[in-house]
């Protein structure tokens, strides 16, 4: 993996880019360049965040997600809790303990529960309409699993012309065979290319109320 050292290019490509068939990675920013108008929490469900089958580092991840949630609420940002409806027998099968959200939801005009049944949180859901109605143009995305629903939802947001902030320690997944979970998460980030704004820490993500509040 080649590292990009040109500061001018690095400022334009926060995740990475391909040149002459070679991937050049760019270190994540220490802080987001501006506040997000919405927080999208992806599948923060008990199946993935509690118990013996939780993702590695789940306890610390929950703390960071909780802090993101409280800051978003305090700022008046829009909050969308995505909850996946898994297939029968899956850990997140509807109605099972693992399907329940791990973080509390305070339903209000500013906070919504969005059911989904595919990786992309925009596909067949109300998420896009919620963001559009409130004039949201910049979203912070966090949750699980890095290479599946987090990545697909981030890609879906980018396809809709939204700015995406993705904190490096704000998403997690499982290991894949001999590949550690942390490596799987990093590869998922690289697969998104240079369009998201990658930041080192969830603590560096600020929020503001959307225009349409």
- Annotated active-site residue 149? The verdict is yes
Active-site entry in 10, 61, 149, 150: 149
- Is residue 152 within 8 Å of 116, Cβ to Cβ? no
pLDDT of residue 1: 34
Percent of the chain with pLDDT over 70: 87
Report the helix count and the strand count for the chain, using DSSP H and E. Answer: 6, 10
Q: What is the value of pTM for the model shown?
A: 0.88
Confidence at residue 23, expressed as pLDDT on a 0 to 100 scale: 58
Helix (H, G, I), strand (E, B) or coil at 16: strand
Helix segments in 7-112, DSSP class H = 7-12, 46-49, 58-75
For residue range 28-66, what is the model confidence (pLDDT) as tens digits? Answer: 888 788 999 999 999 999 999 999 999 999 999 999 999
The whole-number pLDDT of residue 4 equals 36
Element (H, E) at 142: strand 138-144
Residue of 55, 52, 51, 57 lying closest to 145 (CA atoms): 55
Query: What six digits make up the tokens of 63?
Result: 């703390």
Residue 39 tokens, joined = 């927080």
Q: Are strands 38-42 and 78-84 parallel, antiparallel or unpaired?
A: parallel
Strand, helix or coil for residue 51: coil
pLDDT at residue 10, as a whole number: 36
Q: Which residues of the chain have pLDDT under 70?
A: 1-26, 213
- The pLDDT value recorded for residue 11 is 35
């Amino acid at each position: 993996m080649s590292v990009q050292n040109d500061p001018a290019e690095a400022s334009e490509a926060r995740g990475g880019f391909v040149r002459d068939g070679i991937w050049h990675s760019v270190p994540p920013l220490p802080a987001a360049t501006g506040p997000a108008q919405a927080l999208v929490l992806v599948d923060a469900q008990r199946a993935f965040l509690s118990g013996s089958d939780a993702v590695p580092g789940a306890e610390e991840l929950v703390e960071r997600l909780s802090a993101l949630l409280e800051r978003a609420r305090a700022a008046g940002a829009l909050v969308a809790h995505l909850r996946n409806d898994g297939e029968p027998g899956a850990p997140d099968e509807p109605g099972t303990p693992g399907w329940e959200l791990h973080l509390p939801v305070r339903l209000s005009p500013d906070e919504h529960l969005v059911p989904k049944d595919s990786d992309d949180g925009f596909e067949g859901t109300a998420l896009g309409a919620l963001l559009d109605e409130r004039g949201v143009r910049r979203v912070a995305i966090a949750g699980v699993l890095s290479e599946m629903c987090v990545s697909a939802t981030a890609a879906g947001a980018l396809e809709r012309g939204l700015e995406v902030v993705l904190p490096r320690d704000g998403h997690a997944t499982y290991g894949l065979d001999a590949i550690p979970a942390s490596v799987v998460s990093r590869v998922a980030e690289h697969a998104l290319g240079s369009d998201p704004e990658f930041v080192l820490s969830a603590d560096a993500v600020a929020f503001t109320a959307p225009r349409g509040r």
